[in-house]
Structure 1
Amino acid sequence: MGNFRTLLIWQKAMLLVTQTYNATKLFPKEEIFGLTSQIRRCAVSIPSNIAEGYGRKSNPEFIRFVNIASGSLFELQTQIEIALNVGLLNEVDFKNLYENTRELEIMIVSFRKKLKENL
């Protein structure tokens, strides 16, 4: 399987981290320890958990970490919607982020299914 960097879900998650950081750059300074930090932590958690799970060298462990990454992804979807609702995120950035999270969500579901088939 190579290494975790060859996984499309990891690559897509890394792009999502960059996009998330760029979208939150203009959030007000008073949000740095609030929603800005929370959104960024969720985004970073996704590829980090995929990489950690890969390193466990066990399909059941990998599935567990992919599930954690999936939970972080859902958390991110919720938080960007909150940011939109309170006026921190504009509609265009929200739409781009949300569409990318949905694409990654579909990829993760498919990847997890393949891992389960190989148990």
Structure 2
Amino acid sequence: MEPSRKRITSHRQLVVWKKAFEVSMQVFEFSKAFPREECYSLTSQIRRSSRSVTTSITEAWRKRRYEPAFVSKLNDAETEAAETQDWIQYAVRCGYLDRKHGVALFREYESILKTIVGMITHADSWVFPLSPRDARKLRREEP
């Protein structure tokens, strides 16, 4: 490991997780203005899928000792990010989200998708068995 690189010990340190979390909060804020009749359709679906990106990344991180499980959860994150892009397109097309913000959100998810696909492609560099010391350290983390 390079001396200048800090070792990542939590999913919350992952740039992709941070970005997905912030973008999902933007989606939440924009969705507050969606019409009431979309409450159980577009609004709930776009909120669910945008939040599922981070939760799937979190699950992948916690399963990184087992490559198939790690990749499976990253595939879930990839699917949810792509689904969120679809919901963004619906929101723009229905006039609930202006095109400028829709394009910006869509591009953010495109960047997130590229990172997730890169993690899947190079899963072997992310997966490793935890030492007992590292496992104890992770259990002591606070949210």
TM-score, normalization by structure 2: 0.77
* Counterpart check, 1:16 vs 2:23: yes
Distance 1:11 1:117 in 2: 20
| CA drift at 1:40 | 0.4
| CA drift at 1:106 | 1.2
Superposed counterparts of 1:25-104, under 5 Å: 25-56=32-63, 57-104=65-112
| CA drift at 1:59 | 2.2
* Counterpart check, 1:3 vs 2:13: no
Q: Give the match's secondary structure for 1:32.
A: helix
Deviates more, 1:16-25 or 1:109-118: 109-118
Where structure 1 has 5 or more consecutive residues not aligned to the other structure, the ranges are none
Percent identity between the aligned chains?
29
Q: Give the match's secondary structure for 1:2.
A: coil
Distance 2:67 2:11 in 1: 14
Deviates more, 1:83-92 or 1:41-50: 83-92
For the pair shown, the structure with the greater C-alpha radius of gyration is 2
Where structure 2 has 5 or more consecutive residues not aligned to the other structure, the ranges are 1-7, 128-143
Partner of 1:115: 123
Report which of the two has the higher share of helix. Answer: 1
Distance 2:99 2:107 in 1: 12
- Which runs of structure 1 show a deviation greater than 3 angstroms over 4 or more consecutive aligned residues? 116-119
Contact 1:63 1:116 survives alignment (8 Å): no
| CA drift at 1:41 | 0.3
**Structure 2 counterpart of 1:106, one-letter code:** K
Q: How many residues align?
A: 119
Distance 1:110 1:103, change over 3 A: same
Q: Greater relative contact order: 1 or 2 (C-alpha under 8 angstroms, separation 6 or more)?
A: 1
Q: Give the match's secondary structure for 2:49.
A: helix
Cα offsets for 1:26-52 (capped at 9, x unmatched): 101121111000000000000001101
Contact 1:20 1:43 survives alignment (8 Å): yes
